[in-house]
A and B are shown apart, each in its own frame.
Chain A
Amino acid sequence: MLEISNIDTYYGKAQALWDVSLSVDEGEIVALVGSNGAGKTTLLKTLSGVLRPASGTVTFLGQRIDGLAPHSIVEMGISHIPEGRRLFTQMSVGENLEMGAYVHAAWKRREETLDQVHEIFPVLKERQGQLASTLSGGEQQMVAMGRGLMSRPRLCLFDEPSYGLAPMLVTEIFRVIQDLRNQGMTVLLVEQNVRQSLEIADRACVLENGRIALAGECEALLEEELVKKAYLGL
């Protein structure tokens, strides 16, 4: 479904990604782990069109998407749920969700999508008219994810969805991601929470200093010495 081949991405003159290749198949959860500054967010931003790769290609459903504008990529069915939630805090929860459905095709079906989002996160229905800034951290994360789903994506790029949440909420968020996959969503998941993401993911890859250090099935990775030492603290 998503094919990333030999991507190099720069911030100005500083190279952040080196020759990154990765593929995500339909209906899979692929976890992307690695320490701070390894290039995880950079990779997601390259996929969603916020950054452009200097070389290499990205194809989605058989079409080249590197070089497309971010809004066109959203329209094609990729939703990037950014790190740190980034809600529109002076808008209501309902308005935040509405903005998620901004692209044309999604706008026409926004009522229907909204019902689906409310089914996943019932609390958002109760909070509908409340300002986003008045919600708790967990609820804010739900708004961020709900807003991302409002564009009716086929592939979700989640950037640190569990960041800063209490353990119980983390489990809840991971459960939601699993449910989404069970309903046919494809997920690329960036996480600091390595153990839990490897548990729900099918495959994973480890980024180090902008390069793919390891990639493979999750069970196999959990046995790798490097992963055990660096990320699981064993």
Chain B
Amino acid sequence: MPGLFLIVLLLLAALPVYRPGYKVILVSSILMYVILTVSWVIFSGTTGYLSLAPAAFFGVGMYTAAVLGMALPLPVVVVLGGLASSCLAFLVGAVTLRLRGIYFAIFTFGLVEFIKNLLLWWEIERTGTRGRFVVLVDNNTIYYVMLAILVMTVLTAYFIRRSRYGLALQSIGEDEEAAVHAGINVTALKIVTFAISAVFMGAAGAIWATQLTYIDPYIAFNLNYSFMPVLMAIFGGIGQPYGPILGAAVVAYLREILITEFPYQYMLLLGIILLVAILFLPNGLVGLVERARRRAFGGQRANT
């Protein structure tokens, strides 16, 4: 699996050389969704706490780029975007991660709307503007920054999953009270993991904003950025580490195709595809792949 990941990575790194232009922009957006989905899974996929906050963290990253983009060099802006989102996640986590299940989901949903409206109010009342321009960055730079963030996201997800913290997160998802009895400081672990997952969302937002050149609160805090990672993760399947990557890549690509081919019906078509997938692929794409693999290897591989 790491070998395959490395090959894909090399191919991706070479892309701007042999296919400049539109393909680079397209793949940038796919990478962006993979980052959102993988970082969402780091926290929500393991603990079972459904976070609808990705749009908030992504948007904070975007606004960081808009506000600081002129003053600071790009790498600093991207890092600050990640840190700003992480700080927000830490605060939100400290307040809400004592809430169970659905209350946490609703709170994170509300958070996106809250920040959006707060910014709207601020821009109307205080600055008298609507939206902001973001400093321009060329497409290849955006692409490589996105790729770098992606690599860090995947590596972080991989190492957390392999460590005792990954197992502890999973145990919170299975039975939080038993996790408490096992001596796991569940509150601290949840808050820190939530903050870590937000770093990558914020960083991705910061670099993504430079491609849009203009953002306002509606663009930056669009709830689609919250729902897509959830859908993509489910579509891919969270039973295996590569599931969310696969799911995000396929759905993001599909979305692009549908938008260009059927600009008016694309949401409808995407909805139907996802519905069918959830009905017929209960374990997501991972389920399909694993079944094919078992058939090919004669069913000797146990599904762990």
Contact = CB atoms under 8 A, between A and B. Distances in A.
Are A and B physically bound partners? yes
Interface of A: 48, 50, 69-71, 74-75, 79-82, 86-92, 95, 98-100, 102-103, 106-107, 147-148, 151
Interface string B169-193: 0110011011111111100000000
Q: Kindly name the residue among A91, A95, A99, A103 whose own CB sees the greatest number of chain B CB atoms within 10 A.
A: A99
Contacts of B162: none
Contacts of B168: 99, 102
Contacts of A147: 182
A90 B184 CA distance: 18
B167 interface: yes
SS of A interface (majority): mixed
SS of B interface (majority): helix
A153 to B, nearest CB: 10
Contacts of B304: 92
Contacts of A103: 183
A89 B174 CA distance: 7
A224 B291 CA distance: 64
Contacts, number: 64
B164 interface: yes
B171 A48 contact: no
Given A91-B170, A107-B164, A82 B185 contact: no
Q: Kindly name the residue among A90, A95, A148 whose own CB sees the greatest number of chain B CB atoms within 10 A.
A: A90
Interface string B278-304: 000000000000000000000000001
A71 B170 contact: no
9 contacts: A79-B181, A80-B181, A86-B175, A90-B174, A91-B170, A99-B182, A102-B168, A106-B183, A151-B182
Interface of B: 164, 167-168, 170-171, 174-175, 177-185, 304
Contact of A74 (B164, B171, B177, B181): B181
A48 B174 contact: no
Nearest to A48: B181
Nearest to B183: A74
A88 B184 contact: no
Contacts of A80: 181
A87 B184 contact: no
Contacts of A48: 181
A98 B164 contact: yes
A164 to B, nearest CB: 17
Q: Kindly name the residue among A79, A102, A151 whose own CB sees the greatest number of chain B CB atoms within 10 A.
A: A102
A87 B178 contact: yes
Contacts of B167: 91, 95, 98-99
Contacts of A79: 181
B181 A88 contact: no
A5 B3 CA distance: 61
A18 B206 CA distance: 57
A88 B170 contact: yes
Nearest to A131: B304
Given A95-B167, A107-B164, A70 B180 contact: yes
Given A88-B170, A88-B171, A107-B164, A99 B177 contact: no
Given A107-B164, A151-B183, A82 B170 contact: no
Contacts of B175: 86-88
Nearest to B187: A69
A79 B304 CA distance: 29
A71 B168 CA distance: 13
Contact of B184 (A71, A86, A92): A71
